[in-house]
Structure 1
């Protein structure tokens, strides 16, 4: 059995609990939170509870899931790595590239594996889109588009003092759209340059609530990213679109789980309709967190790097940081300037 511990008993921790319970060969043995009331909700049925991570790290836990506010991820990840524990860290892995590099280096130095929670890669429609890219179905790609038109009302930000802050939350790109940026990078490859505008238009928060960016990929293709948490009165749309010389694909819906458009030169309308219906029958598939837990469990047994590694998580974070720098300076930012120095 691969033994898991969770740090941070908030909302997202419940997804980790369900995921660990669903994976054969994985077992939740410990939880940690400084809030004893929250801790009691999770520390039951033989699961040990700790208010100090140092105490939990002295146990036989193999993997630590970091489910705390984003600003705490670096310190806790490094602490777990120094104790020779593998790490799964929620997105964003950190709020600065310096912290992300310290996390990656700590895991490398201590010979432990690190995975970042970008579960949207495992959605059935997204996986199908990646398959079409891998087989070259689009031909030469012209551009791609990612859209996050969601609602996070003021009550959402007021429920915890860290939400909406630059130090602990990071804003709409860091806290919501980073998943979509991960998908853009996974589909389109490395970015050469980005230019962005940010604004805090409606929510009473420190970070931005609206962002628009234009991206130039190293392939020469272009991209557009629109992200907002100000849509009235509820989540409207999350979409990922790719446009090529031989294919057009749009994945959308309130969350990007449904195929909205699927046209390829070498795929008949009947075959396309079959694919769309297959996705419609099970648009969510295996929960993404379960896929992340399964992959880490397998990676430990097979002694390989997790699919969404620390380096992969850093790529999405780098794009967020580039967008932030561009918005702050009013100038395009070249991604090569943000590469990890080894």
Structure 2
């Protein structure tokens, strides 16, 4: 890629991250945000009015334009079809997590982008959290020796909407929240996962058709064991949507991560609950920067489609393990 300006289109605002990605893109002098397309007419009108973005009438019209790349923030079940369409149009793709809702479709997404000579990046902004970046450096320096175990949480609030509709989401909390921290575990441990055992249930919101609670356990080929709580267990009164924490246990030390510790506590009579005012670095801006930089330099994206497949595969195996009430080998 030789041009200094990268033109990007947004495909769907179903996922709230689309708003933060749009903000990050607009702040860059080396990016032109060409506009967006959304298959939900009401949502599209709202986005156009709120953000003042150019709205394309059809997916085909946007993909036929002179954009270089797209960012997909649709419902999970539509990730594959949108990625395949973008790849066929020779557009680079950054896709919201989870990359897909089946191993087969994720493999097809990866293959289509490779055949068409475009990049496929999975949206895992947690890699750009300052505490996570420093932990990765510490592990690589050998500060805690060899990793023997990892414990993590990505506990959130129940999101509602299409996230709790199985045909649109592909699953509940286990699929939604396993993938973020599992990607970090894969990144830190650098070993393949050999088996998964999980339990999942609907405990906090009995009206749901999807699971809202779970515990996921994995064993890496290197012998490292890890556990993760991806439950939607944060109540509406919780200051933010949830948390990302990790404890990485090594032979010579321990690293503890609280991803959202860069915050101030706000108590105001105008609000109905306490709030966290986050003053740390913008992980979504870091994610977008990694995507744009790779396109401009012609280098591999920092978080590949294969990375997305690895973490989503574990989440899907966890759901299968819960159904079978037995470990699942990968």
Using structure 2 for the length normalisation, give the TM-score. Answer: 0.86
> Counterparts of 2:18 and 2:140 in 1: how far apart (Å)?
34
2:246 matched residue in structure 1: 240
Among 17, 40, 58, which residue is 2:22 paired with?
17
Q: 2:84 aligned with 1:78, yes or no?
A: yes
C-alpha RMSD of matched pairs (Å) = 2.0
1:316 matched residue in structure 2: 311
Give yes or no for contact 1:123–1:283 (8 Å, CA) kept in 2. no
Shift of 1:246: 1.0
> Counterparts of 1:12 and 1:231 in 2: how far apart (Å)?
19
Shift of 1:141: 2.0
Aligned length: 303
2:10 matched residue in structure 1: 6
1:262 matched residue in structure 2: none
Could you say what secondary structure the match of 1:48 adopts? coil
Q: How does 1:118-267 map to 2 (within 5 A)?
A: 118-152=124-158, 156-157=159-160, 160=161, 162-169=162-169, 170-189=171-190, 190-203=192-205, 204-232=207-235, 233-234=237-238, 237-252=243-258, 256-258=259-261
1:112 matched residue in structure 2: 118
Shift of 1:16: 1.4
Shift of 1:129: 0.3
Give yes or no for contact 2:178–2:311 (8 Å, CA) kept in 1. no
Shift of 1:166: 2.6
Could you say what secondary structure the match of 2:167 adopts? coil
> Counterparts of 2:97 and 2:221 in 1: how far apart (Å)?
25
**Structure 1 residues 46 and 215 mapped into 2: Cα distance closer, same or farther (>3 Å)?**
closer
> Counterparts of 2:322 and 2:127 in 1: how far apart (Å)?
27
Shift of 1:41: 4.2
> Counterparts of 2:224 and 2:40 in 1: how far apart (Å)?
48
**Structure 1 residues 33 and 327 mapped into 2: Cα distance closer, same or farther (>3 Å)?**
same
2:280 matched residue in structure 1: 284
Structure 1: give runs of 5+ residues left out of the alignment.
260-281, 336-342
2:35 matched residue in structure 1: 30
Structure 2: give runs of 5+ residues left out of the alignment.
263-277
Give yes or no for contact 1:149–1:229 (8 Å, CA) kept in 2. yes
Shift of 1:236: 6.3
Give yes or no for contact 1:35–1:51 (8 Å, CA) kept in 2. no
Give yes or no for contact 1:96–1:321 (8 Å, CA) kept in 2. yes
> Counterparts of 2:168 and 2:139 in 1: how far apart (Å)?
36
Could you say what secondary structure the match of 1:168 adopts? helix
Q: Show CA shifts across 1:88-141 (max 9, x none).
A: 110111111111011111101111111110000010000000001111111122
Shift of 1:9: 2.6
Q: Show CA shifts across 1:2-57 (max 9, x none).
A: 00000113432211111111233111012101234432444478843113101111
Could you say what secondary structure the match of 2:163 adopts? coil
Give yes or no for contact 1:144–1:223 (8 Å, CA) kept in 2. yes
Shift of 1:87: 0.6
Using structure 1 for the length normalisation, give the TM-score. Answer: 0.83
